[in-house]
């Protein structure tokens, strides 16, 4: 029996990190620098326990529309309506962005098989 292929655009992302809006109105994702080497660097070199990743205007808009209910296709449609200039290669770029967020464990997909 063949496994049903799922379209990546049908994946439903869910935020997996703490975040807040900066004074500039962009999303800042909080990332804990955990693990042995990070702990060592924190103690020896006074490195911070948390890093903050700032997203750009489009990334912040997309991030704020990740609600655990909408799939990537729906988020793309919202982005296209709000930012007409973002429509050039929108779904290719959005898919790549989501892939980067997932690989860094900033989001998880609820319906990924």
pLDDT in tens, 27-45: 999 999 889 988 888 889 8
Asked, for residue 47, whether it belongs to a domain, the answer is yes
Domain hosting residue 86, numbered range: 16-109
Asked, for residue 3, whether it belongs to a domain, the answer is no
Total structural domains in the chain?
1
Give the pLDDT band (50/70/90) at residue 21: very high
Asked, for residue 6, whether it belongs to a domain, the answer is no
Asked, for residue 49, whether it belongs to a domain, the answer is yes
Q: How much is the pTM? A: 0.84
Tell how many helices (H) and how many strands (E) occur in the chain. Answer: 4, 5
Asked, for residue 4, whether it belongs to a domain, the answer is no
The answer for residues whose C-beta is within 8 angstroms of residue 72's C-beta and 6 or more apart is: 8, 9, 10, 11, 12, 13, 91, 94, 95, 98
pLDDT in tens, 53-72: 999 999 999 999 999 999 99
Asked, for residue 80, whether it belongs to a domain, the answer is yes
Taking a C-beta distance cutoff of 8 angstroms, is the pair 17, 29 a contact? yes
């Amino acid at each position: 029996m063949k496994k049903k292929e799922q379209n990546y655009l049908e994946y439903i992302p869910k935020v997996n990190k703490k975040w807040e809006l900066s004074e500039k109105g962009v999303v800042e994702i909080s990332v804990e620098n955990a693990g042995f080497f990070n702990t060592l660097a924190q103690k020896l070199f006074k490195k911070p326990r948390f890093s903050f990743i700032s997203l750009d205007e489009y990334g912040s808009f997309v991030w704020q529309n990740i609600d655990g209910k909408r799939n990537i296709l729906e988020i793309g449609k919202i982005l296209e309506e709000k930012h007409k200039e973002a429509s050039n290669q929108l779904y290719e770029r959005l898919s790549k962005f989501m892939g980067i967020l997932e690989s860094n464990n900033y989001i998880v997909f609820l319906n990924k098989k």
